[in-house]
Chains A and B, each alone.
Chain A
């Protein structure tokens, strides 16, 4: 497998990310205990599980915000943990949305979306602005482009954060509990954006507690507990006929 510049994205249905026996420990605490999975292009994968099950850590390992302790992650044919790999090059093809939005408070919405385009993709300022406005339009915030983060509601901030990630034209989007910090009435707007994104064919890995989203939008649902994948399957199967007792208990808890 070549590790040179950006490989061509795999065609529909082929795995875009392959994870082999991934382990991650923080000191003595083992958080991931051997995770292996494939994510195919265009697939929307929702990761469920109780808190502390390692879902977020798995997600953060995928773009190396966390350094795996052992195991292998292949993204578009490239071992992202290899010494030669330019991690910044990997990250610009993988968008990430955080629970706490993490917008840059000193920049207004459009400049939040423009910054990485200009600095990482070296897009000219005018082009970056054009794309930023297009992405803000997509998340329904074109008219808020000159607002600073602290002038926006949580839901609006999260949508700007999504626009910011999309402006890099990523091949995969990672959502780390993107709606968990939002007031209930603001959750829907964010989920709508995510749903539209999924319908548009984006490959997505979504860590969430929103069961309806998992049920309606996901192509595949993964249930994690104790740092391992307990169950992996289509949403109907997982929600209606869970194989594992633990999955059943969890689903009963959150939907009951």
Chain B
């Protein structure tokens, strides 16, 4: 727990630290990824002890806590569906659960580089590009998308949203690299897509008239509208096929398997459904 508090004090280390860590790693092991072979062979008895962890006895997740209700910081506590799920997985594996705060676009690189976190748990959707960098566990959530606009907007309404959004006149704010960005690009190719690093700013862009609509995960959009942006409303929802999963380093297939086992158990005993109900209700 001390470690967790220490990490909270650290500034958003992000890419610089990843780079440093990677550079050090490169220097240390002469270009080969962490040499698990020599240590792995010595302990065949303990099957689930064969994976390596950044911190012994703890499962460290990289997360970008700006995406309620999946992950968010409340009074310094990590809350949300992903955060609850991470704790449940760690418990299944008999480990402490720790979170480290990394910008969304830095999470996958951090997992690849290693040393920062064991897995990425931050509403990450499975894409072919990301699969080239990391392994994904089985999905634990299937994404819904929502498009919201100002309630006072008469041009964009629930009745015409599907067609009206796909117009060169329309600017749709999204979070860069999110499923919302992909959804908007796939379904509204004629619209101008305006990406923001931070999802909150996409809503601010609609509020300030920089964008006509905002597109993103439905649960997140609902949460934002219920909070700071009550003058916006949802005009379209869509059940898409984007799947959220946990990213694990390709060098750590044992951990991947262990997390998948834990996920399967949590799925079976209804824990995941409970957590979804609790966080998305």
Q: Classify A-B as touching or not with yes or no (CB < 8 A).
A: no
Give the B-binding residues of A (Cβ under 8 A).
none
